[in-house]
């Protein structure tokens, strides 16, 4: 197995210098500060701090011996530990030892280690036996910090937008002071386009009822900060979503309020193909003729008729597509949503989703780490005219 395959298996996607420099600018150390990085990797997050702190004040941990050897060469004065940071027995001696922590956790799902069960149970209820590594690393980092210590952690989009992580967001946003949340540009990491955010938290109780969120662009500039209620951030914490809500605030009607319905197809494209049925799919939006997708054998609930609007439910580059149906009995896959509005609103709905504002909405409300998806509830709530 080559080195790139090893890193992918371990969920290791290293940080680019622009992100590292931004984190250091937001999480500035004092002269006597001590800091730790539990997932040090190639040392990207450590590098800007190495210029500001004496090496002995920095601790770097990694599960990969190759990385430890690299760290010892790059930063000879730091304390580099070859260890599994998810094993409480191996890092317990480091608890409450640091003023600062930086962390880019691996993008993997793991079974919650027995040694940390009490940590999870004391924090929040998670409805599965397996956990994203980022959840565990956030909690571990908070154990490593002194009181009023500060953490900068990179979290994938799913943690800040997914319904499965609602209880986790509720716990951290109501237990710790969240200083800021910054959405990162799409290619902020090496060898992946995963969408992520930098969360900066302080080990104190929350002060106030709002959180500042922003977005870091590829040129290093920040978009204007949005101050958001904690309750709204618990629902979703991504800048793109809240920015789209602000952009649409002058609009009064949502799909839900006008009585529109949203339905996904009944089967995936391959299942329809095995049955000899052609289904309109995410790769069909540029098709000029729709008659080829008509079929009378599929139930009417999962067919589109003239005046309905079809949009992608999942995808990345296809999310800005939409089409108005021009025939009846059109079959569509479960990767596509059918929006059926009352007749008097059909043209308004189509006008919005075919506009640049509609295309941007689909991108901004989508969530997920690699493949993006649009949640039905978010789509119904969006105000479109």
pLDDT at 211: 97
**CA gap 86, 4 in Å, rounded:** 22
pLDDT at 10: 46
- 226 forms beta bridges with 213
pLDDT at 75: 96
**CA gap 216, 225 in Å, rounded:** 10
CB contact burial 127-143 (16+ within 10 A = b; e otherwise): eeeebbbbbbbbbbbbb
Element (H, E) at 137: helix 133-144
Residues of the chain with pLDDT under 50: 1-12
DSSP annotation string for 347-380: HHHHHHHTSHHHHHHHHHH-B-SSSEE--HHHHH
**CA gap 168, 176 in Å, rounded:** 12
pLDDT at 122: 54
Q: What's the CA angle centered on 206, arms 205 and 212, to 5 degrees?
A: 150
Q: What is the CATH number of domain 3-238?
A: 3.40.50.150
pLDDT at 383: 87
- Please list, in sequence order, all residues whose beta carbon lies within 8 angstroms of the beta carbon of residue 5, skipping any fewer than 6 positions away: none
**CA gap 25, 216 in Å, rounded:** 13
- Considering only CA atoms, which of 270, 345, 265, 326 is closest in space to residue 299? 265
> 261-381 architecture in CATH?
Alpha-Beta Complex (3.90)
Structural domain boundaries in the chain: 3-238, 261-381
**CA gap 331, 279 in Å, rounded:** 5
| C-alpha 227 chain-centroid distance | 19
| Tokens standing for residue 280 | 């309109």
Q: What's the CA angle centered on 266, arms 260 and 271, to 5 degrees?
A: 150
pLDDT at 114: 62
Asked if the domains at 3-238 and 261-381 fall in one CATH topology, the answer is: no
CB 301 within 8 A of CB 334: no
Q: Which residues of 96-220 form beta strands (DSSP E)?
A: 98-103, 109-111, 130-132, 145-156, 177-184, 196-202, 210-216
């Amino acid at each position: 197995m080559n080195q790139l395959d090893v890193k992918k298996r371990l969920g290791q996607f290293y940080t680019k210098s622009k992100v590292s420099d931004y984190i250091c600018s937001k999480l500035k150390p004092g002269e006597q500060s001590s800091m730790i990085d539990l997932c040090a990797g190639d040392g990207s997050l450590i590098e800007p701090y190495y210029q500001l702190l004496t090496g002995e004040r920095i601790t770097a941990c990694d599960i990969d011996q190759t990385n430890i050897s690299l760290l010892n060469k790059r930063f000879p004065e730091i304390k580099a530990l070859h260890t599994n940071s998810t094993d409480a027995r191996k890092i317990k001696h480091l608890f409450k030892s640091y003023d600062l922590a930086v962390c880019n956790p691996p993008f993997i799902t793991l079974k919650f280690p027995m040694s940390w069960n009490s940590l999870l149970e004391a924090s929040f209820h998670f409805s599965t036996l397996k956990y994203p590594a980022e959840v565990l690393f956030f909690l571990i980092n908070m154990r490593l910090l002194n009181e009023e210590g500060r953490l900068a952690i990179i979290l994938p989009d799913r943690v800040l937008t997914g319904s499965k992580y609602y209880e986790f967001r509720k716990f951290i946003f109501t237990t710790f002071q969240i200083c800021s949340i910054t959405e990162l540009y799409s290619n902020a990491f090496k060898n992946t386009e995963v969408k992520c955010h930098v969360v900066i938290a302080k080990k104190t109780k929350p002060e106030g009822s709002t959180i500042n969120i922003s977005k870091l662009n590829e040129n290093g500039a920040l978009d204007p900060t949005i101050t958001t209620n904690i309750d709204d951030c618990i629902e979703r914490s991504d800048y793109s979503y809240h920015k789209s809500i602000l952009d649409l605030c002058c609009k009064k009607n949502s799909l839900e309020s006008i009585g529109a319905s949203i339905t996904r197809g009944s089967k995936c494209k391959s299942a329809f193909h095995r049955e000899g049925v052609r289904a309109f799919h995410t790769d069909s939006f540029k098709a000029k003729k729709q008659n080829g997708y008509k079929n009378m054998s599929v139930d009417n609930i999962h067919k589109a008729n003239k005046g309905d609007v079809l949009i992608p439910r999942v995808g990345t580059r296809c999310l800005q597509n939409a089409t108005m149906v021009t025939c009846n009995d059109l079959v569509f896959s479960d990767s596509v949503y059918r929006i059926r509005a009352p007749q008097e609103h059909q043209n308004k709905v189509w006008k919005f989703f075919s506009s640049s504002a509609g295309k941007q909405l689909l991108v901004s409300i989508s969530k997920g780490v690699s493949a993006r998806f649009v949640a039905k509830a978010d789509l119904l709530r969006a105000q479109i005219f």
